[in-house]
Amino acid sequence: MWYYEKKLEYPVKVSTCNPTLAKYLIEQYGGADGELAAALRYLNQRYTIPDKVIGLLTDIGTEEFAHLEMIATMIYKLTKDATPEMMKQAGLDPHYVNHDSALFYHNAAGAPWTATYIQAKGDPIADLYEDIAAEEKARATYQWIINLSDDPDLNDGLKYLREREVVHSQRFREAVEILKEERDKKIFF
């Protein structure tokens, strides 16, 4: 089970009215390497991974939901006061037609989130390598969004999220090292 704390993991501030940024940020909300995909991937894989690394997947999967909440807050702030005309200028008119200013799990190109974005192979090494790859892809996505954004306050939050991808990748690599260690040899012959 989970406990909920009614606050964000890191403060989200958006200083410029630029709904176009929401169009980019939605990639990290409902995209293939977004926070939703990450959370669901890790929290699902943990059932069939050796006990030593279950806790890591629980912790990181949970933190991904905290990141999802930050991204949602950014998108919400950028679109809640946008008029239909502003949404149109931001290239968000298809989103507006479908959802008004509601958030939805789709990527920057409008493709809805799908479980085919994630995998649970059951082989611990294969699953952890997928997780490492996902973290690196999410890091790259944050870099490209930061490159497109000229809002320093928004970028501050994005830089924090990018740094967390770096740390998560490192932890998954350590998990691989744990699974590579020779142990429990004595009980076999």
Catalytic residue positions, numbered = 35, 64, 67, 135, 165, 168
Residue 27, sorted as left (phi over 0), alpha (psi -120 to 50) or beta, turns out to be alpha
Query: Applying CB under 8 A, does 93 fall inside the site for another protein?
Result: no
Q: Specify the residue, 6 or 185, whose C-beta has the smaller distance to another protein.
A: 185
Residue ranges of the alpha helices (H) in the chain?
20-30, 35-45, 54-79, 84-89, 93-99, 124-148, 152-180
The region of 11-19, 134-142, 158-166, 172-180 touching another protein under the rule CB under 8 A is: 172-180
| Neighbouring-strand partners of residue 50 | none
* 51: CB partners within 8 A, 6+ apart: none
Closest Cα to residue 33, out of 21, 41, 43? 41
Query: Applying CB under 8 A, does 1 fall inside the site for another protein?
Result: no
User: Between residue 117 and residue 146, which ones bind another protein under the rule CB under 8 A?
Assistant: 123-125
Among 13, 52, 80, 99, binds another protein (CB under 8 A): 52
How many residues belong to the site for another protein (CB under 8 A)?
17
Query: Applying CB under 8 A, does 183 fall inside the site for another protein?
Result: yes
Query: Applying CB under 8 A, does 185 fall inside the site for another protein?
Result: yes
